[in-house]
Structure formats: C-alpha cells, structure tokens
Chains A and B, each alone.
Chain A
Amino acid sequence: MINLPLLPIILPFLFAILLLFFKENIRVQRSLTLIGLLASLVAALFLVFKVKADGIQAVTLGSWPAPFGISMVSDMLAALLVTTTILLTLFIVIYSFSSIGEGRERFFYYPAILFMVTGVNGAFTTGDIFNLFVFFEVLLIASYVLIVLGGEKKQLRESIKYVLVNVISSALFVITVAFLYSVIGTLNMADISVKIAQVGQPGIITVIAILLLIVFGVKGAIFPLYFWLPGSYAAPPIPVLTLFGALLTKVGVYAIMRTYTLFFVHDIGFTHEILSVLSILTIIAGCIGALAYFDLKQIIIYNIVIAVGVILYGAAQMNESGLAGAIFYLIHDMLIKGALFLLIGIIIYVTGTSNLRKMGGLIQTHAPLGWFYLIAAFGLAGIPPLSGFVGKLLIVKGAFEAGNSWGAIILLASSLIVLLSVIRIFIYAFWGKPVAIPQTDRRPYRNMMMPAVVLVILSVLYGVGTEWLFPYMTDATNGLLQPSIYIDAVLKE
C-alpha cells in the first residue's frame, strides 16, 4: 500500500465531505465523526509501525518523478505528530458531545473540525513548500470557521483580529516562497535542501530563513509575534480552544523545526542563534503572562507560549539531545495542553466563571477533578515520573552540551514559574473556603470528565513509558539531524 502516508489526510477529508450531506441530523454527525477519526487513527498507527519497520515513507503524487510532482513524506516525526493529532481530536470531539451545544453542532461544527485535521495532518506530512502553504490555508480557513462559529460579540471581535493577522502572515509566506523559488528554482523540500547545499547558503538564503522564521513565528506564536494569541484563543468555546491550543501553534513549531533542520543548516551561527535568543525571550514573555492573570484560560494560554519557546530552544541547539528533547516535549505538550484545557473547561462549567478569585473549595465537591488536575499540572511542569520530564531534561542537556548555560538555566527557572502558575489554579479553585457554585447537572460533568481523564492517563503513560518510546524518538531525531536520510527517501537515488 504505497499510499499509506496519505490515508490520515484523506480519511478525515472524506468524512468531512460526507458530513456536509447530513447538516440537520446531529446523531449522524456525531457517529460519522467518531467513525472517521477512529479509522484515521488506525491508519496513522499503521503508518507509525510501517515507518518504524521500513524507514521513511515517501510518495510523489500522480506518479511523477520526485522533484517534479508533489511529494508527501512521512518520516517518524511526521507520523508521530499525525497520530497525536488524530488522538487528541478524538478526545476533543467526545468532549464536545456534551459541551458544545446543539446550535453549533447544526452549523457544520464537526465538518470544520475534520477539515482542520485534514489541514494539520497535511501540513505535517507534506514534502513540498508550496503544498505546505496550501495545507496551512486549509487548516486556517477551518479554524476561522471554528473561532467565529456561534457569533458571540467577543468571538466576532477576536476573529477579525485572528483573520487579519493570519492573512498578513499568509501573504508573507507566499512572498517568501516566491523569493526562495527565484533563488533556488524548486519547491520540493528535499530538492531545496540539495540545491541550498550546492550554493552553500549565500546571504539571500539567510534572509529567506529569517523571513520564514517570521512567517512560522506568527503561526506558532514566538516572542514579538505572539501578540494576537492570548485574545484570540480566549474567545471560542473550550473544545475549540483545546483544538487550537494543542494543534495549531504546534504546526508552526513543526514548520520551523523542519525548515531549520532541512534547509538552513549552513550558517547556524546566525540563524539558529537568532532562533535561540527569540525562544528564550518567548519563554520569558510567556512566564510574565502566566503569572500576571487571575483567569484560568489566560494562564494556560500563556503556558502555550512558554512551551513554544521551550521546544524551539531545544530545536535551535542542533545536537542530538536538543532535538530529541524538542520532539519529546512537542508531543508531550500536545497531550498535556489537551488535558489541561479540557480540565479547566470542566472547572469553568462547574463554577460558571473563569475568574480564580471567585472560586474555592472545589475539592470537597469535585475531588476527582482536583486530583486529575493536579497530576496534569505536575506533568506540565515536568515532575520526574510524568510526561514533561524527559523532554525538558534532554533539552537542558543539549543546551549545556552546546555551551548555552544561561539559556538552560532560564529554561529550568521557567519550569518553576510554570509550576507556580498552574498550582495557583489548584490552590485558589480547589482549596480554601467553598464558594457557592451554581447548581449544575452531574451528567454532562461526568461525560466531560471521561475524555479528560483518559487524556491525563495517556500523558502519564507517555511519561512512564519513555523507555518504550525511545526507539521511535531516536528515529525521528535521526531524520532531523541527517537531512541526507530524508533527501534519499524522497529523491530515491
């Protein structure tokens, strides 16, 4: 089956199309979405094992020879990210059943989610820089629908901001690709890498590298370009926020990691230095934001910014530990952000507010919620048996190996602030004197707990099962460290 890398893209797309035909029937919408995601999950798992067994899977569409057609390339990193994406979407969809409300479900909520998954998976899998742009647009346009769906005043205001920023960055993306094409003369990523190596990265290529960093930096929210994120992400309802927080910024991060390990590896002293300085600044900016707010959503949203900084700092080290840590932390962060957003969604549902000062004593009425939140919070901060530990350990190790002691120290200090910011939620919401909370139905609470709890347990297993995951991560790291593996798999010579 040579088309296996494409199945996790085609299946959500197919089911999204089918859902267009059953607009009014919510039951059909829900079950088709579940079937589609389960089928995609099976395909993605098959893909991971296939890549593990036989190396990078590359297919060039339309039976054209490699640099001329559009290549789709699944290396281990892409396959793992695709699997994580589908897994998370599955939980978020189940969570949506009891929280999103019928009004939204009737207006193409599930098709929009599936179209977004199509775009995200495509962006992870593609081996063509302009095709990457197309998949970015697919996921962005679906995300515009999701952010504005429902039409509350706040959503309308923030979606204008969100659309404006993304339209500008997309235009910049096209301009950058045009520059790259006029210098290099090809759009296939493997071929670009070969051609850049041939000309030895002159100044103009370094300029293009920085332009691409700006483009993907806007999508992935790095330091001076993250300004749109806190407001926009707070507007949509929790399941949509979870989808955005866990997946969208990570696509930008992935694109930076891919281009900075495959294309621009000949002038590391300049490009990667800028990347690491920016990621440290991103961490600091995120930390300030995470401490500044007394609002559940904003605290976790600023934690996204911190995580983006941490992952990119690991990737900027360009050594084995740094990159392996970045990959570990990337997947950990997708899982744990998913779990945390779902949990605070339940807290907001139970208390009816997202203001920390108006909460208290929840541990007496909702004990399981409290303990699972605490586990997720410890996982986020990177307490040893849990999932965030190995990634950050490797990133810090990589930074010390590369001689960036100060960066490593700031990164370690940021863990404390992350822990403080999420524990503050625990202390204010769960300890203290019980505050009168509105009477809410127990049934949706239980239905919403289920996916969140499973996600927390998965993230714990991810931390405990590090040893078992290590061979997969090593494959992914090798793919990034040695572009020749990637190039050979695509160009097949």
Chain B
Amino acid sequence: MKTNDVILQTTTKVVFFIIFLFSIHIFFAGHYTPGGGFVGGLLTTGALVLLLLAFDLKTVKQALPFNFTIVTGIGLLLALGTASASLVFNVPFFTHAFDDFTLPLFGVTSLHTAMLFDAGVYLVVVGAAITIIQSIGGDA
C-alpha cells in the first residue's frame, strides 16, 4: 500500500520556517532574555528533524548540501577565534568587547562579541546534533 504524506509534508513546509525563525529569535534574544546559542541551535535542529521526519534523508541532504562535521568545525573555530582575539590585544583570554553602532535598518544597536561566541555554540550544536541523527538514521 502506498502511503500518502501530503498533509504532513505540506504542514511541514510551513511549520519549518516558523520554527526556524523562532530559533533565530531565541538565538538573538539570549543576551537580555532567556535563550542563546544552545537553545537556538537545538530549535534549529528540531526544525531540521521535522524535515527529516516528513521527507527522507536523501531529500534533506539534497536541500541542505552541508557536511555537518565541517559545520561543527566552523563553529568551534568561531568560538575559539572570538575568545582568542584577546591574545592580540594582550588582555586576559575571553575578554569580550562591545559598542553601539548605528545600523541602516535597526538604528542604534549594541553589538557584543559574545554574540559571535554564541554563533559558534549555535553552529556546534546544530552540526553535532545533525551528525548524530544522520549517522544513526543513515546506512553509511
């Protein structure tokens, strides 16, 4: 019997973007409200897992042709790089800096290097979680 997933797949196409946008929101909100790189990364992983459930491994791999081990590596590099920038300025490791910038669309925005570190955490969480799921779920 041929199963028909049309409702599941159509809903997923909408819900995926809602979850993904929420994860980005949670990621950026982390400095002032609950959230941050780890939950943000897990929510993105959740969205990707929903895609995997509704479609199959091969389709999702075609849609997102990343090697997630590399994603983990880039995330680690970003985190270590942010922390090591302090080596250049000869201040203790992990010293962060922030300033207010006037951006074209957002107006005056406070940007903090902790956000770059969080971006590293986000990428590591997504990369590691998807690698686990892909390697348990896949044949190879």
Interface residues of A, Cβ cutoff 8 Å to B:
1-3, 6, 10, 13-14, 17-18, 20-21, 23, 59-63, 69, 72
Contact between chains at A62 and B80 (CB < 8 Å): no
**B84 CB within 8 Å of chain A:** yes
What would 24 A/B residue contacts be, using CB atoms closer than 8 Å?
Answer: A1-B90, A2-B90, A2-B91, A2-B92, A3-B90, A6-B93, A10-B80, A10-B84, A13-B80, A14-B80, A17-B73, A17-B77, A20-B70, A20-B72, A20-B76, A23-B69, A60-B92, A61-B92, A61-B93, A61-B95, A63-B92, A63-B95, A69-B92, A72-B93
**B86 CB within 8 Å of chain A:** yes
Specify the chain A residue showing the minimal Cβ separation from B73.
Answer: A20
| Interfacial chain A residues near B69, Cβ < 8 Å | 20, 23
| Interfacial chain A residues near B87, Cβ < 8 Å | 3
Whole-angstrom distance between the alpha carbons of A2 and B91 in the complex?
7
Chain B, range 86-115, C-beta contacts under 8 Å to A: 86-87, 90-96
Counting residue pairs across A and B whose Cβ atoms lie within 8 Å, the total is 46
Interface residues of B, Cβ cutoff 8 Å to A:
69-70, 72-73, 76-77, 80, 84, 86-87, 90-96
Whole-angstrom distance between the alpha carbons of A13 and B120 in the complex?
15
Contact between chains at B90 and A61 (CB < 8 Å): no
Contact between chains at B94 and A61 (CB < 8 Å): yes
| Interfacial chain B residues near A6, Cβ < 8 Å | 93
| Interfacial chain B residues near A3, Cβ < 8 Å | 86-87, 90, 92-93
Whole-angstrom distance between the alpha carbons of A13 and B93 in the complex?
14
Mostly helix, strand, loop or mixed at chain B's interface?
Answer: helix
Knowing A10-B84, A14-B80, A17-B80, the reply to whether A59 touches B92 (Cβ < 8 A) is yes
Known: A1-B90, A3-B90. 19 other contacts (CB 8 A): A2-B91, A2-B92, A3-B86, A3-B87, A10-B80, A10-B93, A13-B80, A14-B80, A14-B84, A17-B76, A17-B77, A17-B80, A20-B69, A20-B76, A59-B93, A60-B92, A61-B94, A62-B95, A72-B93
Question: Whole-angstrom distance from the CB of B137 to the nearest CB of chain A?
Answer: 19
Question: Whole-angstrom distance from the CB of B21 to the nearest CB of chain A?
Answer: 29
User: Which residue from B70, B91, B93 sits with its C-beta under 8 Å from A21?
Assistant: B70
Question: Whole-angstrom distance from the CB of A8 to the nearest CB of chain B?
Answer: 13
Question: Whole-angstrom distance from the CB of B53 to the nearest CB of chain A?
Answer: 28
Whole-angstrom distance between the alpha carbons of A407 and B128 in the complex?
50
The 5 closest A-B pairs by CB, nearest first: A20-B73, A61-B94, A63-B95, A62-B94, A17-B76
Whole-angstrom distance between the alpha carbons of A59 and B95 in the complex?
11
Whole-angstrom distance between the alpha carbons of A10 and B76 in the complex?
12
Question: Whole-angstrom distance from the CB of A469 to the nearest CB of chain B?
Answer: 30
| Interfacial chain A residues near B90, Cβ < 8 Å | 1-3
| Interfacial chain A residues near B76, Cβ < 8 Å | 17, 20
| Interfacial chain B residues near A62, Cβ < 8 Å | 92-96
Specify the chain B residue showing the minimal Cβ separation from A62.
Answer: B94
Specify the chain A residue showing the minimal Cβ separation from B86.
Answer: A3
Whole-angstrom distance between the alpha carbons of A20 and B77 in the complex?
11
User: Which residue from A18, A63, A69 sits with its C-beta under 8 Å from B91?
Assistant: A63
| Interfacial chain B residues near A18, Cβ < 8 Å | 73
| Interfacial chain A residues near B70, Cβ < 8 Å | 20-21
Question: Whole-angstrom distance from the CB of A233 to the nearest CB of chain B?
Answer: 28
Among B72, B77, B94, B96, max chain A CB count under 10 A is at: B94
Whole-angstrom distance between the alpha carbons of A17 and B73 in the complex?
6
Specify the chain B residue showing the minimal Cβ separation from A20.
Answer: B73
Whole-angstrom distance between the alpha carbons of A10 and B82 in the complex?
12
Specify the chain A residue showing the minimal Cβ separation from B87.
Answer: A3
Specify the chain B residue showing the minimal Cβ separation from A17.
Answer: B76
Question: Whole-angstrom distance from the CB of B97 to the nearest CB of chain A?
Answer: 10
